Amino acid sequence: MSNLPEAREASLPRRLLAADPDRLPAVEVGVLVVGSGVAGLSTALALPRGTSVLLATKGRLGEGATRYAQGGIAAVTPAGLAGPTRRAGAGKQDDSAGRHLDDTLAAGAGLCDPVAVRVLVEEADAAVADLRARGVRFDQAGEGLLARTLEGGHSRPRILHAGGDATGAEIERALVAAVGDAGVPVAEHAFLVDLVTGTDGAVVGAVLADEAGGRSLVRAGAVVLASGGAGQLWTDTTNPALSTGDGMAAALRAGADLADLEFVQFHPTALHVPVDPRPLISEAMRGEGAVLRDLDGELVMAGRHPRGDLAPRDVVTRAMAARMAASGAAHLWLDATDVPAERLERRFPTILARCRAAGIEPTSAPIPVSPAAHYLMGGIRTDLHGRTSLPGLYAVGEAACTGVHGANRLASNSLLEGVVFAARIGRAIATAGATAGAAPPERPAGPAAPDGAPAGDPAATRAALRRLMTSSAGVLRSARGLGAAAEALAGLPTAFPARPDGWETANLVQLATALVELATRREESRGAHWREDFPDPSEAWRVRQMVALAPDGALVTGLLPLPSLAEAAR
């Protein structure tokens, strides 16, 4: 392996629009925030008072992935330390940010940035306090105490939750209300088409499109991408239809570095029903005592890991995939029938309602489950303040790659990451200032997709892409499968009709191409990246990978050495 970047033979568009953005109708703001999940909403609220802000979302407020987060938010807080431990043997009642750090590093399989993780866990209490101040109503375990539960990979029950299993929905409700109270302007149904860069490469705005196809240029002193993940790359996903990686792909086209794209977390327990997205069965249900069984009733995780059903997600998912492949089963069972029905009703009302709508009664019968794409650990590479490799561009939430997740995200760290790093972006922008002015001419950006109606069929291409990624770049990977995927991707169109479904498909094709490249190069198994031809981790690969686009549209890859925790402490 070399530390020098390596150009690959690929030709991806650097822009989706051929038109000159300076000829579009324009507005000016201090900060443009793209995305309205926990990360985007928190960022809008964290910006300095007096900053002119526009919060743009391609759907409606409340339609993103945040509302699907069931389990909760992982945080060590004084208000939660005295809460009860519900699961026998779940661990001691004491906890600390240090233990949370250790658990996160262990789940990340040696690829977490320990400095970023330290920031995450040490600022967790302040993040929870901020959410409570914004009106989030966490479940209580008694007067003045926050209820908490256990999830896979955690050594202590530190997961705070709301509405039993409706934590994301409650956080989203409160933050949407807070944004409204603060008078933050919101543009719904505003699709991010391209970022606009100046002659020095700095991001100076973005092109947005509305439902009617009208396009406008938003000039901004800073752009924050909080646009979520790309779960729609796979046929089975817990992500909503909006999760097409638009912010990540736009950043890639603009010249920003992306990192860790090969690490994709497949949640082990999605409800096995033919709908898109697949309903999530929270890991917290296993924290309360549910167990995984095969179709013969045998325990799936027995002897597979010291923590059994509460092993890290990558371990559980691979064990399930192996059991299903060996037996030919399309699903396994999550058995919660030994958990008292009253507890299930109190803790998981949303899950029970979804199961019952599908004709399943979890209090008396096992739940059919199978793995589904859930979370992308990689994204736009940022520093500890959300700054990307391009001046003027920030990223936060699933669209960003802070390094806290490493090769495998620890359960319930994602909501926390969105709040913690949104606050840091707010402070960074306060220091740097973000006053919009006239944007300089756009930097020559290489090839652009034709601004018309090319031959690429968005629906057919997306369906083929999702099947390809599921079969060749899913839970189990190999050189043969990844090579076939790369060849097939090279044959897919990269330009589509200039409308949202076409732009989404172009974004997915670009991200898939970069992801498959990094997965092919990583010749080891680590965390959520499992290679059948390289089944063991390699110390030589204890590095992170990055990818960017050269001006001619070629992929460029490179390595990011990782400090140890001891080195980070110095």
Catalytic residue ranges = 313
Would you list the DSSP string of 36-63? -SHHHHHHHHHSPTT--EEEE-SS-TT-
Q: Quick check: 564 and 10 in contact, CB under 8 A? A: no
Separation of alpha carbons 434 and 49, rounded Å:
12
Number of CB atoms found within 10 A of residue 17's CB: 19
Q: Quick check: 530 and 475 in contact, CB under 8 A? A: yes
Helix (H) or strand (E) holding 170: helix 167-182
The angle formed by the CA atoms of residues 188, 350 and 230, to the nearest 5 degrees, is 45
Helix (H) or strand (E) holding 482: helix 479-490
Strand partners of residue 393: 223
CA-wise closest residue to 284 among 382, 404, 150: 150
Strand partners of residue 546: 259, 558
Would you list the DSSP string of 333-372? EEE-TTS-HHHHHHH-HHHHHHHHHTT--TTTSPEEEEEE
Q: Return the structure tokens found at 255.
A: 């010249």
Q: Quick check: 199 and 441 in contact, CB under 8 A? A: yes
Please give the span between the terminal C-alpha atoms of the chain, in angstroms, as a whole number. 27
Number of CB atoms found within 10 A of residue 485's CB: 24
Phi, psi of 219 (to 5 degrees): -80, 135
Separation of alpha carbons 70 and 160, rounded Å:
11
Beta sheet of 367-376, edge-to-edge order: 264-271, 367-376, 332-335, 291-293
Phi, psi of 278 (to 5 degrees): -80, 135
Would you list the DSSP string of 272-338? -SS-SSPPB--THHHHTT-EEE-TTS-BSSTTT-TTGGGS-HHHHHHHHHHHHHHHT-S-EEEE-TT
Reduced to 3 states (helix: H, G, I; strand: E, B; else coil), residue 567 is helix
Separation of alpha carbons 187 and 224, rounded Å:
15
Please state the separation of Cα 65 from the chain's center in Å: 9
CA-to-CA dists, residue 205 to 59, 172, 222, 448, 499, angstroms: 20, 26, 7, 18, 20
298 burial class (0-12, 13-18, 19+ CB within 10 angstroms)?
A: exposed
Phi, psi of 95 (to 5 degrees): -155, 165
